Amino acid sequence: MSRLYTRLLRWAGHHRWFALLIKHALSPVDRAVMRASKGRLTLSGPQMATMLLTTRGRTSGKERTVPVYYVRDGENVVAVCENFGLEAASNWPKNLLADPHARIEIGAVARDYRARPATDDEVARNMPRLVEMWPAHDTYVARTGTRFVFVFEPVEAGT
């Protein structure tokens, strides 16, 4: 059942109607499910690594939390945003460019990170794994021409 569900999600992910559904309805539900289950459950299922990313709004100063797919690159975490291929850019990359401090929850573990745009080498190394997990990444960038790839480096306590 889990594989069929994942295949269905990956198929639907290429469609604009599903992108709108994810952004406006499923993302807030997924955030609540992940928080309530301490990261054990996500609407994406176990095949797609999902973290909760908290940034500080660049204009409001309020904390904003969104579920985001990720891969690991050593001790770093790598995530990409094309805002589901929608016209308006997503806020979390803009927030990170204004303030690189982020809090990431993976499972029941929350940790502080410092975000930075990925280098060309890091993009080349990690995008194939991100696209393998969520093939719609390529559909999204084809629609808008915009892609933000961030590397999150752990911040040691006291630094």
Query: Phi and psi (nearest 5°) for 2?
Result: -60, -40
Q: Assess if residue 159 is contained within a domain.
A: no
User: How many domains does the chain contain in total?
Assistant: 1
Closest CA to 5 of 34, 48, 39: 48
For residue 29, give Cα distances in angstroms to 23, 50, 53, 149: 10, 13, 15, 24
The closest of 7, 10, 150, 6 to 82, measured between CA atoms, is: 150
Could you list the residue range(s) of the whole structural domain that residue 50 is in? Answer: 2-154
Q: The whole model's pTM is what?
A: 0.93
Is there a domain that residue 141 lies in?
A: yes
C-alpha 84: how far from chain center:
11
Q: Is residue 77 part of a domain?
A: yes
Bridge partners, 151 (sequence order) = 78, 116
pLDDT tens column, 28-87: 999 999 999 999 999 998 889 999 999 999 999 999 999 999 999 999 999 999 988 888
Residues 69-86: pLDDT tens digits? 999 999 999 999 998 888
121 CA to centre of own chain: 20
Tell me, yes or no, whether 34 lies in a domain: yes
Q: What is the CATH number of the domain that holds 96?
A: 2.30.110.10
Give the closest residue to 48 by CA, choosing from 94, 91, 74, 13: 13
